[in-house]
Chain A
């Protein structure tokens, strides 16, 4: 999948089908292999790396949007962002997520976010911004692949898109430029929140995978719901 700076992704139909075709990594041989531990660690590391990358990308992008968007306490109304996957979740709900659901939520969230991020490649942005965005999208694609790897190692199927629920971003061409700026702001914020949350998700998964081999076997048998 190549992301050339300057590619414009349609506002109405997001070409996200390619994302759903991430090849399923064959499940690791269960006997005598290190388990999904290393790939969970890798995924965790990736979320931290992306968080770092996002900080500088968001800084540059918000400066491009101009004040007040780049002001630290800026808090505009959230409109039209209902379609954004929300990282915020009730603590009890989050704690009680089973591994499959936890991973699925992460995978689906980043698939949507990646799609929207590609749409962010605004016409008016500078070439350098487009390059940074494209680079970030590639890294995010890597994170998706990593999550898919973990899911495959644990034997979970990758979520398939339901027909008719393909993520579409903008409300339409009548969307004003200022509203678009607000959407961009919330997209970056949500991305940031998801990366914070994912680090916790994968840290949690990592700790779960640490117990000795026997417990792992039990764990693998227990999953199935």
Chain B
């Protein structure tokens, strides 16, 4: 179309050099280098061999091309020229090659054995597959997310290095119902894993195994028998929040939500909390957090950032006494404890927060109480409630203290004795 075409000067300025040779090449006249496969053939084609074995190969030049002779032919393996002493002419049109003690294939697509003409052009090629048969996969472990699906993971035998492409297939069947099924969704959680999304039956055990196959053979793992209800796990508890506890410098309050599946599937959950200081790699674990959705961490360092995670284990599934599998840890949440108050005569420079008493004798008792709490499992309901009661009482007494000193001292002493066990 003539309209709108830029002038020749502009066009030549625009034309990029690399494309020019290509554009000038006329399709019909383009010579095809060598017309390889028509002129020679390698035998054997695409053989599969065990590591350490030998190979005799031949490159036969087709007689129809004028001047076709095996003279001057040479071999390359994976792009590297093979020493001439390994090859010899069998007859005028055939060159033979002898390879011994083969190593495992350099790439899983096969080693490239190529027969070249004297001028270097490629006449024919063959892919060599040198490797080992697969070894028995082992260590199968499976888990079910909320009883809806099954994810399994395994370890390939011989660390998976067979030098050949090895296909892993996870199979499963109900113990007394005969029909084999194959898992379809691979690489769910890593290279040797598979995910079965649906159609799983409860109350009857499954038999699960992994079959590994490659060109040289196959292997089958031992059969794992399991009941879906025994390997249940859930998502980690959502919405984990960590916050300070008023002005208390050595405590943090952790709150979370129970996993939604709990309601759907009527199981109970137990939780575990772990926390660590920002720069440390050592986690402290709080166990025995049964069926609560909050916990208070005590005995922490003031003015420090802590990372906290929570995980969950379902149990009591349909009345079973067994625990399930621990979920993943929740995403780490962080919070920092308040900086420690400067110790000063009678109350110091800090503002009391939330009605916390700041005068000397009361702080002493507070410290005693906290000291006691540090030594005990902090997540039991009793101490939590009791502490809150104690605090509420202290708040009230702080207000009335100004009105009547005398009554307060006797009441305080009584309260101090209360929590001590």
Residues on A lying within 8 angstroms of B by beta carbon are 6, 63-69, 71, 75-79, 86-91, 94-95, 98-99, 122-127, 176-179, 181-182, 193, 196-197, 200, 203, 207-208, 211, 215, 218-219, 222-223
Contacts and interface: CB of A to CB of B under 8 A. Distances in A.
A197 B109 contact: no
B111 A66 contact: yes
B114 interface: yes
Nearest to B38: A79
Contact of A66 (B19, B32, B42, B109): B109
Contact of A124 (B23, B38, B106, B109): B109
B265 to A, nearest CB: 30
B33 A181 contact: no
Interface string B151-166: 0000000000000010
B122 interface: yes
A11 B5 CA distance: 43
B4 A69 contact: no
A127 B27 CA distance: 37
Given A124-B109, A193-B22, A222-B3, A178 B127 contact: yes
Nearest to B111: A66
Contacts of A126: 108
A210 to B, nearest CB: 8
Given A76-B122, A215-B4, A178 B46 contact: yes
Contacts of A197: 19, 22
Given A196-B18, A223-B1, 13 more contacts: A64-B109, A65-B109, A75-B33, A76-B33, A78-B33, A79-B37, A87-B22, A91-B20, A123-B165, A127-B187, A196-B19, A197-B22, A208-B4
A150 B24 CA distance: 28
Given A88-B25, A127-B186, A127-B187, A77 B126 contact: no
Contact of B76 (A68, A77, A89, A91): A68
B32 A218 contact: no
Given A88-B23, A177-B46, A182 B125 contact: yes
Given A68-B78, A207-B6, A181 B112 contact: yes
Interface string B72-93: 0000101110000000000000
A91 B23 CA distance: 5
Given A78-B33, A79-B35, A178-B127, A67 B27 contact: no
A203 B37 CA distance: 39
Contacts of A6: 186
Contacts of A99: 1
B4 A211 contact: yes
Interface in B23-52: 23-27, 30, 32-38, 42, 45-46
Contacts of B18: 196
Contacts of A65: 107, 109, 112
B53 interface: no
A223 to B, nearest CB: 8
Contact of B36 (A79, A177, A218): A79
A66 B114 CA distance: 12
B54 interface: no
Q: What 3 A-B pairs have minimum CB-CB distances, sorted nearest first? A: A67-B79, A178-B125, A68-B79
A90 B125 contact: no
